[in-house]
Amino acid sequence: MNKLKGRDFLSLADLNSDELKELLQLAAQLKSGQINLKCNKVLGLLFSKASTRTRVSFTVAMYQLGGQVIDLNPNVTQVSRGELLRDTARVLDRYLDILAIRTFEHKDLETFANYATIPVINALTDREHPCQILADLLTVQECFGKLDGVTLSYFGDGNNVANSLLLGCAMVGMNVRIATPANYLPNMEIVEKAKTIANGKREVIVTEDPQVAVKDAQVLYTDVWASMGQEQEANSRIPIFQHYQVNEKLVKSAADNVIVLHCLPAHRDEEITNAVIEGKQSQVWKQAENRMHAQKALLVSLLGND
């Protein structure tokens, strides 16, 4: 746990495989009540994008650790009036113990990390969503009793979630397949990094064919077809992505013990059918709960416990 103390968490690539597995183990222990840790610190949330799960899960996690949370809405801070990010970072660094940022440009997150000495957490950027994948991996581990060798297939936009899934799955020894239209691929630099991590021992596949991705898959995963900031494209994307919908037919083509995940919010009967998200294979609500447990483990690991 002390290995991560004082470090930033901007990407899953900031961890090595052993550190990621230890973090997931800590999350499982905190969730089960096997251990009870305290961390009397102050967490700042600087969110430029709307949030339900990330905001509430971080807040509750910090409160349960015995800490406090300050919600730094950019609209009521000087950031909205054009204060330089590096100036804001250097000031918040003197008030807070840790800062979680949810923003558009990944480079803005990196600017904060460069100018602040406190740990900075990526609570979502357009490039990556590492905190979500911590919860996803914890959920898969709970459902299958292991991560190594499990096959996860993602269907839809090659977005920040897809990027972080590639890294996270490769790091824990899972097979990962991304099925997406040709013009909506994940970040190819991240794809290559995931392949390097997997080192040929596990699958890292990007394909346009959902049937290639679904064969024998134990985890089917999807996300909205238009992320925050892409709302104007939403209607035009529907016919492009329709072929990638997670529906009853796709579920039947997967492994017999398949589970279904969605990072939420969901547009029902677009990227996932109502029947599937409410069906017996759905682990979406456990997945959402696990945001809190995974982030609690992350907070106490970056801060240390009292």
Segment 252-275, tens digit of pLDDT: 999 999 999 999 999 999 999 999
More confident residue, 234 or 117: 117
72 Cβ contact partners less than 8 Å away, ≥ 6 residues apart: 44, 45, 46, 47, 92
Question: What are the residues facing 262 on neighbouring strands?
Answer: 222
116 to 7, 34, 43, 210: CA distances (angstroms): 11, 34, 14, 43
Statement: residue 7 has pLDDT above 60: yes
Statement: residue 306 has pLDDT above 60: yes
Regarding whether 162 and 45 lie in a shared domain, the answer is no
Regarding whether 167 and 83 lie in a shared domain, the answer is no
Contact call for residues 180 and 159 (beta carbons, < 8 A): no
- Domain limits for position 207: 132-287
Regarding whether 254 and 152 lie in a shared domain, the answer is yes
User: Annotated catalytic sites, by residue?
Assistant: 102, 129, 132, 223, 263, 291
| Percentage with pLDDT > 70 across the chain | 99
Question: What are the residues facing 71 on neighbouring strands?
Answer: 45
Average pLDDT over residues 116-121: 98
Regarding whether 106 and 179 lie in a shared domain, the answer is no
Contact call for residues 41 and 118 (beta carbons, < 8 A): no
Contact call for residues 49 and 104 (beta carbons, < 8 A): yes
Statement: residue 1 has pLDDT above 60: no
Q: What is the pLDDT of residue 295?
A: 98
Regarding whether 148 and 234 lie in a shared domain, the answer is yes
Determine how β-strand 204-207 pairs with β-strand 42-47.
Answer: unpaired
Regarding whether 211 and 75 lie in a shared domain, the answer is no
182 to 186, 208, 240, 242: CA distances (angstroms): 10, 6, 10, 14
pLDDT in tens, 119-162: 999 999 999 999 999 999 999 999 999 999 999 999 999 999 99
Regarding whether 252 and 139 lie in a shared domain, the answer is yes
Average pLDDT over residues 76-103: 92
Regarding whether 232 and 207 lie in a shared domain, the answer is yes
Regarding whether 189 and 106 lie in a shared domain, the answer is no
Three-state SS across 96-131?
CCEEEEECCCHHHHHHHHHHCCCCEEECCCCCCCHH
pLDDT in tens, 172-217: 999 999 999 999 999 999 999 999 999 999 999 999 999 999 999 9
Q: What is the pTM of this model?
A: 0.96
Q: What is the pLDDT of residue 110?
A: 98
Residue 68 — very low, low, confident or very high, per pLDDT cuts 50/70/90? very high
More confident residue, 58 or 230: 58
Statement: residue 27 has pLDDT above 60: yes
Regarding whether 278 and 143 lie in a shared domain, the answer is yes
Max alpha carbon distance in the chain (Å)?
A: 54
Q: What is the pLDDT of residue 278?
A: 98
Regarding whether 279 and 136 lie in a shared domain, the answer is yes
Is it true that the peptide bond before 181 is cis, omega within 30 degrees of 0?
Answer: no
Q: What is the pLDDT of residue 76?
A: 77
Number of domains in the chain: 2
Regarding whether 188 and 43 lie in a shared domain, the answer is no
The C-alpha torsion from 201 through 203 and 206 to 211, rounded to 10°, is 160
Q: What is the pLDDT of residue 207?
A: 98
Residue 209 maps to which CATH number? 3.40.50.1370
Q: What is the pLDDT of residue 77?
A: 81
Q: What is the pLDDT of residue 79?
A: 77
